[in-house]
Amino acid sequence: MVGVFGSLCVQVAPQGQLLRWKWQDAASYESFQQSFELIVAASRDHSVTQWLADLSTMSPLGINEQQWLSENWLVQFAALGIHRIALIEPNSLHNQLVIESVLADGRRYTHADIQFFADVPAALDWLTMSDAGVIETLEQEWQAVLAG
């Protein structure tokens, strides 16, 4: 299942308990919060244990977003029980530093295995334990929506 919701393109793959998301465009502060709350809700609703978060196209994060993530959202995230997170590195050094700061704050809430990747194929390979069939299905679904 793949869909575009506000600023995010989101894919849920129940067979791999995987949620994949990517920023589509810039988001206002309110839209940013709604997007992260959507990720939590979708993860909870589909018993997700793995994330593929493509941060490469994320708009520059401000201090308000960073503060909200660290002070409010991390508690919601911790309740999900996410075990593995593959992060596609942000194109912006600023966002890279913000994400690393939020991850450091999150260490008190979760012990998820977090890995950074330069591209989606490597991240999917890690998350699916190199299951070529699952990777192909996920990519076909994803590309169909993006082309759509």
Helix (H), strand (E) at residue 95? helix 93-106
Give pLDDT tens digits for 82-106: 999 999 988 888 878 888 877 777 7
Give pLDDT tens digits for 100-135: 877 777 777 777 898 999 999 999 999 988 888 888
As a dihedral over the C-alpha atoms of residue 52, residue 95, residue 27, residue 116, rounded to 10 degrees, the angle is 0
- The two three-digit tokens of residue 56, written as one number: 């490469």
Whole-angstrom Cα distance, residue 56 to residue 12?
A: 19
For tokens 């992260």, the residue is: 36
For the whole model, what pTM was predicted? 0.87
Domains along the chain?
Answer: 11-147 (3.30.750)
- The two three-digit tokens of residue 37, written as one number: 């709350």
Buried (b) or exposed (e) across 45-59, using 16+ Cβ within 10 A? eeebbbbbbbbbbbb
